[in-house]
Structure 1
């Protein structure tokens, strides 16, 4: 053993060998390479230790391994343009800058499960304040290890333990090194784009940007986003909003007296039906209804069901649907408004409106809080609570999740633990995810036949839709037993299409056609919109509308005045509704004509028309197109210019302060606990603090007790 120890070279011997290697030729180049390697190692290690990026498959794992390298080369290569000790200090400086950015994001991610944005760094926001207050609690001594190499390198230079390259390198070499970094960055972006289309244009989660491109690249991307937002916001002025408010006021429709205020004071459940299209209602496969529970709900005489209701999303997909549903503002033409503007903009949202009228507002989502920037946007919307994946112990179990979050049956059941604690009246939005592309579900949860179009993506769609329907049925049964059904209004809506136009042969088979036209594809954009409540005069309503119209329609039923609100939708219950439905790309639908993919059709019979052969169409199209272009442009201006910050016209509404909101699990649970005493109106409080969760019945196989559990229970009871 002693002989072995004697053979091990001393650290000083190691260092002498390394130093000798670096001194042979171009010591600055070796120092540059050493810094690149150090940056790469600590970034890659911390990707795995401190971030939850969810890299899956060989391509994503490779990108995670590769993406720290290009920007490290680009930034550190700046040192190669200098000579002498200055070049060494510049290399150390850029090592420190990248390490400091990594260090700051580790702390921020540990607290908020998201990455720092330039908007947060520059705004002194509530998240920044909360982080500074709790930094002592979240920091670990090991976090400082990120800076150890920098300290060592600095000491080596100070005490002249490195040979300083006084000549430096040729500028040509320095330029080629910088160019290498740039080329590698584009190579990484090319691979990332192939694996994840629309990565930068849709930008739905900061985790994706970091996973695919890198932490430094994310900083650049976010910086550009922030700059564009700042510029558009900087040039906006109150007169811009005034012009838009004048336009909106002229579009305001009279309320329907038989509906206005009929649901005032009731709880509101908004159930987000992921990727759920209207054609699924009453649709059968092999003689079986795909959605028997939703069909029954749709045809209930206490349900207002709209059969000409369309999704209007763009690249933001689900986030666009939420923006319209909560604010009656369109999503953007590119990217997601919630991601780009949700953190810092001022909104007049449904949660804020209702919370200022005595409602408790809460959103429920069985995925990470950062997805679509919900953790920040929901504060801007005024949600009191946001119950995301961190609140659900079952979410940590792999087989309890599928695709984009918890399976619906488990998610809805587990959400009721928090719903029963919400002071009433409340506004609760439940976002389901199982019926999401690519429509995969484990065999244990499939009890419905797939369609047989031959398109693997399409054929599983009815199976996940059936699963969602079962989950919805279980939820309704529980709410009736728990006493939350009778005094609630239920709002169900599909957020966007489930089957894209890329599957036209399969769509034709589903619709029983030989092939589909653009008219058929336009009709295929219908999604459900249902409103149900005791005492509500229901039936199938044929008014044409879309997601932009949800907010004014719901405010009508709840008896909330909206005269001074900046909304681009129209009350679908108003007898004066003209039924114009704009799409995000500028196409549109009216009760008389359709423009879709640059073709025109008669809405009633699907006959294709041309502007040249139909004078009435030409006249109508010019008028409708002018209106559609204007509302889209005005809506974009409201968001990109953050124009609602100038709104002083509403005495019944005040802008929310984001500092008042925290979605940390500990804060949320504490707030619920306090509410049971300060406002004991929750279902739990009214039931004398006895939970009703035992009334929730689900056939989710994941929640079924195993035989060993049953034996254990039997054994315990016998004792």
Structure 2
């Protein structure tokens, strides 16, 4: 006992004892064991500190304890095949590789509640130009502690505090060690498969893979998954599409007679509300409404407002929302469908469908055209015009931009110069960006109080949302002045959550709760969905739905037949609509029950329920699980197999030719100029060539400063 107390109280004695033990025999083996233990310790600690894996019961807790070990053994055992100092450096390098992977996932998970994928890493060129600021806001100094052991190990080797094993170990021993890691991996998988059948074949949730198999194993699984997606196009055949269409036909619902075609021939404004969550509607801070303009719009008698509408995005976030909104296809389980498949795939998209019915189609975004591969994907979607950063002279001014593009007030004001030139009827999608993480706004644009949760990531959210609301109000005022408001349909939707579930203490304060449950987190996935038009019968609609349902619902209102279309959403206005919402990870919501983060709840009361205690739940859970697997799986097949290239069944739609589209500024401006004569139905043409930009009033301080300098 005295000896033990002496070791604890004296670090030098403690280190000498460890060194003596490591030096006695096969020092490299002890160094190998030390590295394995350190990798295990880091991963096991981070599983509990930074990841919300939802491990329940003794089996899952044991797997969480076990799963970092097999790959740590396999990777670091490579060092045992070498001798001398090289073996030590290899052990450190393989420790470092696993630590970097852990570190990267810690940061990514903190904001997106998901793990990095090969698809996301591969899309870096199309999304990475704006990520620096976001990462700076995410990172904590304590995150770097995952590398502290690496520094210590390097120091021990460099300063010769360890005895270098010149002999090494026998190859036989090295091989057996690697095999032991492989065996452990299979043991882990065997136990995991017993606890959750079909883990690798039916799961759409990456949290399950990491929880059961481990973070490193997830990387291998994801790489295989990504490879299979790439190869699926080669294997696809027309019969695959026939199978999908048979399923889609069973989901087709009758149109709502009260709404069908009531807005036929009107312009459509699709307004993309970046990171905007439903709870912001009517929300107040210090007695002030965060979004007074959107609140008024939401409650307007001519606005159909859905208050049980959910984002269903996966790793593609905004791009997934666009994929659903434009195509009624889910994003992929891994990566972004727009990035990976947007360039070459065939789509039956909303812009193309409306374009072939006489609409002019245009997308507006105040950032680089390549972000989320939009410059290529929008050609596949059939957009006539894509007004990106190069079209906006103000986009090159540093204080006119923030985070992911132009500030919304400036962006929307400057977009008016192109809106007024669009021949009518037109379909115009406006993508706002200021209300994007990290919710940072310069002082001259802040005129609203931040929340006081103490979470720096969260507290600025209401300020950027308020700025977005002001921008929206200015746009509506302009459209009313120039005569576009009454002849247009306005569709507003939030693309995904703004505050991730990793900020639960702050969320609790925002919602006025003591503690957040998974039921609360499920409801926190709600985003606005509104359809407004002069004369439209509006009201708050309590139907449960999601982003996958936007396209068929809008087609109903516009009176566009959807027979034969391959859509995985349903018309939310149909009297036969049941309100089944499927999330990208396989969780789901119905009007009666909710499944979220591996727990079940009564949707109406929020009470947690179990299958064993509720027979009706057991039946619903079985049905919804099968439906989720089928609808997500079929949607994935359509995208990864490019199945719509085989579709010859529709006489009212023809596949577009991407070569017909050119988004270069010179080409776009020339086409607009030509359109004023060939189709003089634009506001500019009707105004005999006189611009309406003077009717656009904004209080953007940047523009006022510029005006005062002239």
Q: 1:276 to 1:207 in 2, by over 3 A?
A: closer
Aligned to 1:644: 644
Aligned to 2:631: 631
| Residues 327, 347 of structure 1: 8 Å contact kept | yes
Give the SS at the match of 1:704. Answer: helix
d(CA) in 2 for partners of 1:459, 1:289: 15
Query: How many residues were matched structurally?
Result: 528
Aligned to 1:243: 243
Q: 1:256 to 1:376 in 2, by over 3 A?
A: same
Aligned to 2:462: 462
d(CA) in 1 for partners of 2:407, 2:273: 13
Q: Alignment RMSD, CA only?
A: 2.7
Deviations 1:34-63 (A, max 9, x none): xxxxxxxxxxxxxxxxxxxxxxxxxxxxxx
Aligned to 1:363: 363
- The answer as to 2:286 corresponding to 1:286 is yes
Deviations 1:353-396 (A, max 9, x none): 00000000000001111111101100000001001111111010
Worse-matched range after superposition: 556-565 or 699-708: 699-708
d(CA) in 2 for partners of 1:630, 1:274: 29
Gaps of 5+ in 1: 1-171, 214-222, 713-719
Aligned to 1:567: 567
- The answer as to 2:354 corresponding to 1:354 is yes
d(CA) in 2 for partners of 1:321, 1:651: 28
d(CA) in 2 for partners of 1:580, 1:594: 10
Question: In the TM superposition, what are the counterparts of 1:526-565 in structure 2 within 5 Å?
Answer: 526-565=526-565
Give the SS at the match of 1:527. Answer: coil
d(CA) in 1 for partners of 2:589, 2:130: 40
Aligned to 2:125: 206
Question: In the TM superposition, what are the counterparts of 1:142-181 in structure 2 within 5 Å?
Answer: none
Aligned to 1:411: 411
d(CA) in 2 for partners of 1:420, 1:184: 59
| Residues 117, 335 of structure 2: 8 Å contact kept | no
Give the SS at the match of 2:271. Answer: strand
d(CA) in 2 for partners of 1:512, 1:184: 44
User: Deviation at 1:224?
Assistant: 10
Aligned to 1:252: 252
d(CA) in 1 for partners of 2:550, 2:477: 26
Q: 1:356 to 1:708 in 2, by over 3 A?
A: closer
Q: If the length of structure 1 is used for normalisation, what is the TM-score?
A: 0.70
| Residues 127, 372 of structure 2: 8 Å contact kept | no
Aligned to 1:116: none
User: Deviation at 1:193?
Assistant: 3.6
Aligned to 1:138: none
User: Deviation at 1:200?
Assistant: 3.9
Q: 1:675 to 1:186 in 2, by over 3 A?
A: farther
- The answer as to 2:577 corresponding to 1:577 is yes
Aligned to 1:666: 666
User: Deviation at 1:207?
Assistant: 4.9
Aligned to 2:684: 684
d(CA) in 2 for partners of 1:340, 1:664: 22
Question: In the TM superposition, what are the counterparts of 1:139-538 in structure 2 within 5 Å?
Answer: 193=104, 197=108, 198=116, 200-203=118-121, 204-207=123-126, 231-538=231-538
Worse-matched range after superposition: 273-282 or 203-212: 203-212
d(CA) in 1 for partners of 2:409, 2:563: 40
Aligned to 1:25: none
User: Deviation at 1:206?
Assistant: 1.5
Question: In the TM superposition, what are the counterparts of 1:584-623 in structure 2 within 5 Å?
Answer: 584-623=584-623
| Residues 280, 291 of structure 1: 8 Å contact kept | yes
Deviations 1:575-633 (A, max 9, x none): 10000000000000000000000100001110100000000110111111111110000
d(CA) in 2 for partners of 1:190, 1:212: 18
Deviations 1:94-119 (A, max 9, x none): xxxxxxxxxxxxxxxxxxxxxxxxxx
| Residues 592, 602 of structure 1: 8 Å contact kept | yes
User: Deviation at 1:231?
Assistant: 1.9
| Residues 205, 373 of structure 1: 8 Å contact kept | no
Give the SS at the match of 1:631. Answer: helix
d(CA) in 2 for partners of 1:591, 1:225: 33
Deviations 1:140-189 (A, max 9, x none): xxxxxxxxxxxxxxxxxxxxxxxxxxxxxxxx9xx99xx99x99996997
Q: 1:189 to 1:683 in 2, by over 3 A?
A: farther
| Residues 130, 403 of structure 2: 8 Å contact kept | no
d(CA) in 1 for partners of 2:131, 2:304: 44
d(CA) in 1 for partners of 2:602, 2:226: 44
d(CA) in 1 for partners of 2:436, 2:117: 18
| Residues 552, 569 of structure 2: 8 Å contact kept | yes
Deviations 1:449-481 (A, max 9, x none): 000001011000000000000000000000000
d(CA) in 1 for partners of 2:303, 2:523: 22
d(CA) in 2 for partners of 1:673, 1:565: 34
User: Deviation at 1:705?
Assistant: 4.1
d(CA) in 2 for partners of 1:575, 1:630: 23
Give the SS at the match of 2:465. Answer: helix
